[in-house]
Structure formats: C-alpha cells, structure tokens
Amino acid sequence: MSWLVVLLILYVIWDVNYFIRCVFTVFAGRLFQSKRKVTDTTSIYGLCTSQDVDIFIRHMNNARYVRELDFARFHFYALTGLYEKIRARRGGAVQGASSVRYRRTIPIFHPYKITTKLVWWDEKAIYLEQQFITLADGFVRAVAMSKQNITNCDVLEVLKSYPETAKRPEKPEELKLWLDAIEVSSQKLRKDK
C-alpha cells in the first residue's frame, strides 16, 4: 500500500511519464539502432494519443510538440555519441532558443515521426532542424529550429573528433534570419535594463 501512495505522490508532483519516456528513448536507440554520424538525420516515432491532444480532443496540443522534440534531441545525442563527447570535456547542453512553425495539425491517433538533423554550429552552440512528419501522407506537419548551447567547452573542438564535420556547411538562410531575430530581441532586453 505504501508503494502505491509513493507512486501516486510521484505522479502528482513529478511528470513520471516524461522521465520514463526519456530513459526508454535513449536506451531503445542505443540497443536497437546503429550509431550515426553527427551529420546524419535521426528519427523517432510517436502516436498522438488522448494525453497529447488539446481541449477539443482533435489534434496534438502545441505544447506537446515541444516536449516531443526533447525526446528526439536526446535520441540524436545518444545515437551520435555527441553528448558523451561533450560530457567528457566537462560540458553540458542546454536549450538556448527554439522556434516551431506549425503547418498542419497532427490528428488524434495518427502516427508520426520526428527527424533531427544538425544543420550548423559555431564555437558555442549547435543548431538542429527537427520535423514532425505524419506517416500516412509523409506531410511535414511542423518544423522546429533549435539552438543547443554547449556549456564549458568549445563546440568546434568537440566536433573535430567527427571526420564528417571537417568542413562546416553554409549557414542556412532561415537560420541566419532566425538568429538575427534573436539578436534583435536580446538588444531590446538589454536596453530595457
């Protein structure tokens, strides 16, 4: 009986499903999928369930997209070994910024996949593009840009251990514009102090 009470308290004060899903996503990726190059696209799969939908119970809630992106990033880090290399240098990774463009909803009970791809990097951060794609029609339902700040180590040094990153790609135009918008916002906040 006491275990049930503890479990109930955990579910009330902690998002237990989130942590279970994180562990499952990382370990399933490591056990059942091969390692990937850091420049490869990785994919995870999901199903829009009744826990994911908005108040009208028709499609995925906008906040749920961001949560699902976490799992896809953890999976990317696990399959590429990038997070281990960052941790070996006593570094860490934190979300610095993200932007999601919703194109079309994901209806309830529809399966989808999330692809994650490293599109660019600088000395302080890596930039990922992630897409939600419904399996039934292959339509890209949402696109997210993510800036992952890498703390306490130089990204360029970390990525030197990956031969495929010897030549950094051209910065995508949409990433340039997005980073410019972030800088404009930062300048405004600095002026407000």
Total of domains in the chain:
1
Residue 191 lies in a domain: no
Is 103 a domain residue?
yes
In a domain, 192, yes or no: no
Task: Provide the pLDDT for residue 12.
Answer: 82
Q: What pLDDT score was predicted for residue 142? A: 98
Q: Is residue 169 part of a domain?
A: yes
Q: What is the CATH number of the domain that holds 35?
A: 3.10.129.10
Q: Note the pLDDT of residue 193.
A: 65
157 in any annotated domain? yes
Q: What is the pLDDT of residue 182?
A: 94
pLDDT digits (tens, 9 = 90+) for 59-90: 999 999 999 999 999 999 999 999 999 999 99
Q: Which of 25-34, 83-92, 97-106, 141-150 has the lowest mean pLDDT?
A: 25-34
Residue 115 resides in a domain: yes
Residue 193 inside a domain? The answer is no
Nearest residue to 53 (alpha-carbon basis) of 113, 108, 131: 108
* Spatial distance between the Cα atoms of 58 and 15, rounded to a whole number of angstroms: 23
Task: Look at 20 and 193; give whichever has higher pLDDT.
Answer: 20
Q: Residue 7 above 90 pLDDT? A: no
Range of the domain at 36: 3-185
Looking at the domain assignment, is residue 125 inside a domain? yes
In sequence order, the β-bridge partners of residue 45 are 113
What would the mean pLDDT of 107-128 be, rounded to a whole number? Answer: 97
Separation CA 172–CA 175 (nearest Å): 5
Neighbour-count burial of 14, counting CB atoms closer than 10 A to its CB (0-12 exposed, 13-18 middle, 19+ buried): exposed
The average confidence (pLDDT) of the chain is: 94
